């Protein structure tokens, strides 16, 4: 493990410019995938090169929302059946996507050398080609979510005003804080009726975080519940104008101009995936 970390750091050598954003939630169905693809479109629309990665290594579903079926995905890359370039699907100018494919979780148990080389290839490709990589993650305290979120530079937690979603968002933050040492989170409240409702949700989570954890929670605002979104998604168009407006203001609060800190996202991800 020690040796792997050293190799990865050496391989970086040059100044890195890629930032990693993870979109996570305690409860499922709160809008992570919708927010991931819309955020990807907004950030790439501002001239940044963005890669969306479906971080659900068990049940991937970003491609369903995008209405595309990439022929090859991360599974094929891990199996040595596809080069990294073959699993990248362009969606728009500056916006690409890597689908996860099912069964990939088990491949994390590949022999050390093989896994390390694969992760290095992913790292080299991402850091050569993209300003930002956005990971959509599985809901809950799944070990893959914990690994991805705790390795990323910008962890965004999504909740809705539903009490169960609020409780689970807090649960996720607590676990990431206590067990993975994550200190700083961004909260985005989705499917609200008005701004006040979003603020109340944020306040309720912030208070318990302050009391029982060492996590700092920053508020990105809220996105209104809009029934047109569901209609659009049925027509395989996940990009909504109303959502875009609200999401732009939320994203403006993220430190998207930062030049990313060390250590490497991939180095941390590799050691965490191995541990789980």
Ligand X SMILES: Nc1ncnc2c1ncn2[C@@H]1O[C@H](COP(=O)(O)OP(=O)(O)OP(=O)(O)O)[C@@H](O)[C@H]1O
177 binding ligand X? (CB under 6 A): no
Pick from 33, 137, 145, 264 the residue near Mg ion by CB under 5 A.
33
Residues 30-69 that bind ligand X (CB under 6 A): 30-34, 61
Q: Which of 71, 207, 230, 253 binds ligand X (CB under 6 A)?
A: 230
> What is 21-54 written as a DSSP string?
EEEE-SSTTSSHHHHHHHHHHHHHHTT--EEEEE
d(CA 123, CA 267): 9
How many residues belong to the site for Mg ion (CB under 5 A)?
A: 2
Q: Which does 28 bind (CB under 5 to 8 A by kind): ligand X, Mg ion, none?
A: ligand X
Cβ nearer to Mg ion, comparing 32 with 191: 32
How many Cα atoms within 13 Å fall on the side-chain side of residue 87? 24
Q: What contacts 119, CB < 8 A, 6 or more positions away?
A: 8, 266, 269, 270
With CB under 5 to 8 Å by kind, the binding choice for 30 among Mg ion, ligand X, none is ligand X
Taking CB under 6 A as the binding criterion, the range among 7-15, 114-122, 223-231, 248-256 that sits at the site for ligand X is: 223-231
Burial of 271 (0-12, 13-18, 19+ CB in 10 A): middle
Site string for ligand X, 237-276 (x = CB under 6 A): ----------------------------------------
Task: Tell me which of 5, 84, 233, 256 binds ligand X, using CB under 6 A.
Answer: 233
DSSP annotation of 136 reads E
- What does the alpha-carbon distance between residue 11 and residue 248 come to, in Å, rounded to a whole number? 35
Q: From 181, 184, 176, select the one nearest 255 (Cα to Cα).
A: 184
CB of 188 to Mg ion, least distance (A): 14
Q: Does 225 bind ligand X (CB under 6 A)?
A: yes
Angle ∠(36,54,133) on CA atoms, nearest 5: 65
Q: Output the smallest distance, CB 196 to ligand X, in A.
A: 16
Beta bridge partners of 185: 217
145 binds Mg ion (CB under 5 A): no
Q: Which residues bind ligand X (CB under 6 A)?
A: 25, 28-34, 61, 139, 190-191, 223, 225-226, 229-230, 233
- List residues near Mg ion by CB under 5 A: 32-33
């Amino acid at each position: 493990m020690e040796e792997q970390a050293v190799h990865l750091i050496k391989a970086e050598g040059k100044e890195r410019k890629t930032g990693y954003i993870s979109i996570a939630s305690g409860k499922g169905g709160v809008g992570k995938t919708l927010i991931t693809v819309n955020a990807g479109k907004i950030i790439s629309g501002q001239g940044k090169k963005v890669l969306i990665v479906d971080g659900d290594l068990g049940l991937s579903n970003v491609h369903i929302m995008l209405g595309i079926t990439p022929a090859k995905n991360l599974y094929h890359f891990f199996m040595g059946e596809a080069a990294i370039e073959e699993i990248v699907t362009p969606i728009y100018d500056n916006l690409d996507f890597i689908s996860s494919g099912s069964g990939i979780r088990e491949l994390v148990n590949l022999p050390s050398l093989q896994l390390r080389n694969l992760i290095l290839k992913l790292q080299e490709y991402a850091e050569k080609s993209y300003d930002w990589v956005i990971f959509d993650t599985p809901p809950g305290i799944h070990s893959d979510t914990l690994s991805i979120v705790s390795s990323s530079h910008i962890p965004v937690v999504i909740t809705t005003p539903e009490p169960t979603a609020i409780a689970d968002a807090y649960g996720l933050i607590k676990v990431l804080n206590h067990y993975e040492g994550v200190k700083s989170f961004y909260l985005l409240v989705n499917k609200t009726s008005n701004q006040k409702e979003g603020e109340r949700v944020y306040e309720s989570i912030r208070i318990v975080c302050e009391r029982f954890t060492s996590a700092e929670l920053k508020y990105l605002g809220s996105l209104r519940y809009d029934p047109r979104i569901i209609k659009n998604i049925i027509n395989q168009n996940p990009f909504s104008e109303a959502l875009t407006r609200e999401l732009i203001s939320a994203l403006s609060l993220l430190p998207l101009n930062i030049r990313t800190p060390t250590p490497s996202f991939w180095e941390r991800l590799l050691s965490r995936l191995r541990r789980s």
